[in-house]
Amino acid sequence: MKNHLDLTGRTIIITGGNGFIGAQLAESLRAQGANIEVLDIKNPEHPVDLLDPGAVRAAIGDIILRTGGVHGLVHAAALDAIPGGSEAQFAPYESFDIDLWEREFKVNLTAAQIVMQAVAPEFMSSRTGSVVFISSDLSLIAPNNSIYGEGKFKDIAYVSSKAGLMGLMRAWASYLGPYGVRVNALVPGGMRNGQSDDFAKRNSALNMLGRMANPGEYDAAVAFMLSDASSYMTGSSLIIDGGRTSW
């Protein structure tokens, strides 16, 4: 009997694969037998600027030559504010810096389009492939600014760009559907990553399970979305947020 979850030998590109979530996914998918190729400006072996279309095309072309083709793409590259990070990213919306806004949109949304433009011809030629955009629960709901502390507000550029990513996902799903290529989004809730216990407690109170996600809890979902087990799934959002968006 065929194992529809098997990813053995498949070449999967992960953008932002040196980041917090991207690195988790890379490790998990490698353990399942996939050939992982990381596109990341912070990749120590071969840094790739995702905002440089020429560099992205060259990197993907090299991957295709070395591996014989690409079977999947996970777009995990993102720029987000974290507690204890830049105060500018927690600024009131009426005074949020436009240069920062544009930088976040470039990383969170424009980079996704650049990568898709580079890899889509390969998928269209092979008439197969699966794309997973890593979005956010805040692409579906408004942020609860009370959890960030007095005078601080959830990064409006992050919220807006992740909502845009959902539109990009649906547009590419529609465009690539005739080629048998699937495009979906994972919609995750917050994950523990060095936040204070006080912040984690406030964030956890927003969902039904009463906790934030633990590292590794999104791995199996992404593997499912890349595998043949989700062969009839496209243009869809897989929400894993502890029930936050259902409240």
DSSP string of 33-65, one letter each residue: T-EEEEE-TT-SSS---TT-HHHHHHHHHHHHH
- Rounded to whole angstroms, the Cα distance separating 207 from 214 reads 14
CB within 8 A of 208, min separation 6: which ones? Answer: 242, 243, 244, 246, 247
Nearest to 97 by CA among 81, 114, 83, 78: 81
Region for residue 85 given its phi and psi (left: phi exceeds 0; alpha: psi -120 to 50; beta: otherwise) = beta
Residue 102 has pLDDT above 80, yes or no: yes
- Rounded to whole angstroms, the Cα distance separating 77 from 133 reads 9
pLDDT value for 86: 74
- Rounded to whole angstroms, the Cα distance separating 134 from 165 reads 9
Q: What band does 82 get if pLDDT is binned at 50, 70 and 90?
A: low
Residue-wise pLDDT for 148-205, tens only, equals 999 999 999 999 999 999 999 999 999 999 999 999 999 999 999 989 999 999 999 9
HSE-CB of 70 using CA atoms within 13 angstroms? 29
Residue-wise pLDDT for 137-151, tens only, equals 999 999 999 999 999
- Between the CA atoms of 124, 127, 133 and 139, what dihedral angle is there, to the nearest 10 degrees? 80
Q: CB atoms < 10 A from the CB of 97, how many?
A: 13
Counts of helices then strands in the chain (DSSP H, E)? 7, 6
- Rounded to whole angstroms, the Cα distance separating 190 from 214 reads 9
Residue 133 has pLDDT above 90, yes or no: yes
Distance of CA 175 to the CA centre of its chain: 20
- H or E element at residue 182: strand 182-188
Burial 50-87 (b: 16+ CB within 10 A, else e): beebebbbebbeebbeeeeebbbbbbbbbbbbebeeee
pLDDT value for 2: 82
